């Protein structure tokens, strides 16, 4: 174990919310307008209610769920993996092998916190951590060492 931590700050807003929240608001408003003005029945009513629920989740619910889940999140860095355990009701563990990760990207936040991401889909993201520069440096070193362990030994060209 090289490092363990948890979010010291839980961001309510992330960059993706800049697109998803307004789109959800538009979807919810359109569904509500449709329900109130057209008074649909049957399958059309069900579809409009589903659109309303999805719109509300995109506009507000997604941020609230993320905020609450981050309250139960822990992170760990070993010499082989970076691990995140998170979940609102049931803990799920996600991990990424260090040797397969690109260099970590740090986005600094308020109050000396930050988020560390790796840019690849499905990789672990460390959100709202304290001392983010120190953790990024630890990650960079651990990734380099993991890649060096996996690299084949260099062929000796002086023997020829």
Express each pLDDT in 65-110 by its tens digit: 999 999 999 999 999 999 999 988 899 999 999 999 999 999 998 7
What fold characterizes domain 3-11+73-150? PH-domain like (2.30.29)
State the average pLDDT over residues 122-131: 90
Mean residue pLDDT of the chain comes to 90
Considering only residues 157 and 31, tell me which one the structure prediction assigns the higher pLDDT: 31
Domain segments of the chain as ranges: 3-11+73-150, 17-69
Q: Which residue has the higher pLDDT, 129 or 111?
A: 129
| Residue 28 and residue 83 in contact, taking contact as beta carbons nearer than 8 Å | no
Kindly tell me if the per-residue pLDDT of 158 is higher than 60. no
How far apart, in whole angstroms, are the C-alpha atoms of residue 51 and residue 10? 28
Q: How far is CA 20 from CA 12, 36, 44, 57, 69, in A?
A: 13, 24, 24, 10, 19
**How far apart are alpha carbons 91 and 4 in whole angstroms?**
17
Global pTM reads 0.78
Percentage of the residues of the chain whose pLDDT score is greater than 70? 95
């Amino acid at each position: 174990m090289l490092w363990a931590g948890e979010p010291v700050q839980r961001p309510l807003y992330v960059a993706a919310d800049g697109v998803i929240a307004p789109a959800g608001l538009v979807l919810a408003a359109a569904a509500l307008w449709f329900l109130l003005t057209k008074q649909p029945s049957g399958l059309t009513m069900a579809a409009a209610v589903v659109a309303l629920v999805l719109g509300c989740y995109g506009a507000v619910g997604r941020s609230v769920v993320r905020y609450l889940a981050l309250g139960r999140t822990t992170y760990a860095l070993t010499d082989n993996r970076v691990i995140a355990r998170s979940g609102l009701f049931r803990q799920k563990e996600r991990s990424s092998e260090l040797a397969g990760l690109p260099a970590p990207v740090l986005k600094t936040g308020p109050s000396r916190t930050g988020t560390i991401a790796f840019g690849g889909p499905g990789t672990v993201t460390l959100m709202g951590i304290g001392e983010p520069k120190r953790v990024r440096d630890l990650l960079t070193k651990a990734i380099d060492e993991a890649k060096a362990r996996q690299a084949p030994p260099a062929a000796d060209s002086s023997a020829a």
